[in-house]
Amino acid sequence: MSLERKRQVLYTVLSPVIQGDTLWQVMCHWQTHYADKAQFEWNAFLSDCQRMADIGQQRTTVYRQLIALMLDNKAVLYDDPWPEMQAYQQRQSEHDAMQSTPVVAPPEDWGPVLTEVLAELFAQLRSDTIAVVRRYAIDMAGRHGLPSSLTYAFTQWLDQGKAMTLPNVPLTQLQQLFNYIYVALCECVGPIVADRMISQAVNVEYEQASTLNARRLLG
Partner 1 sequence: MKFMISIGLLLVGSCVWADTEHAGERLLRLDLDMVWVAIAAILVFFMQAGFALLESGSSRAKNAVNVMMKNYMDVCVGTLVFWLVGYGLMFGVNTSGWFGMSHFAMHDGAGWDYLFLLFQTMFAATAITICSGAMAERTKYDAYLIAACVITAIIYPVFGSWAWGGIHGGSGWLADLGFIDFAGSTVVHSIGAWCALAGIIVLGPRTGRFSKLDGRPRTIPGHNLTVVALGGFILWLGWFGFNGGSTLAANADIGIVLLNTQLAAAAGAVGALLFSRLTGRPVLLTSTINGSIAGLVGITAGCAVMAPSFALVTGLIAGVISVYGALWLERRGLDDVVSAVPVHGFAGAWGTIAAGLFMKDDLWNGSQVLVQSVGVLAAFLWAFPVALLVFMAIDRTFGLRASTQHEQQGLDFTEHDEVGYPEFHQHATYHRETNV
Binding to partner 1 (CB under 8 A): which residues in 106-125? none
Cβ proximity to partner 1, 144 vs 162, nearer residue: 144
CB 137 within 8 A of CB 184: yes
Shortest gap between Cβ of 199 and partner 1 (angstroms)? 4
Options 23-31, 37-45, 57-65, 210-218: segment touching partner 1 (CB under 8 A): 210-218
Q: Is 30 in contact with 45 (CB distance < 8 Å)?
A: yes
Residue 89 CB, nearest distance to partner 1 (Å)?
26
Evaluated on CA atoms 170, 121, 131, 80, the torsion sign reads: positive
If one asks whether residue 208 binds partner 1 (CB under 8 A), the answer comes out as: no
Candidates 176, 189, 112, 187; CA nearest to 142 is 176
- Our measurement of the distance from residue 83's CA atom to the centroid of its chain's CA atoms, rounded to an integer in Å, reads 15
* Cβ count within 10 A of residue 126: 10
Contact pattern from residue 168 through residue 197 relative to partner 1, giving x for each residue in contact according to CB under 8 A and a dash for the rest: -------xx--xx-xx-xxxxxxxx-xxx-
Residues forming contacts to partner 1 in the complex (CB under 8 A) are: 175-176, 179-180, 182-183, 185-192, 194-196, 198-199, 202-203, 206, 213, 215-219
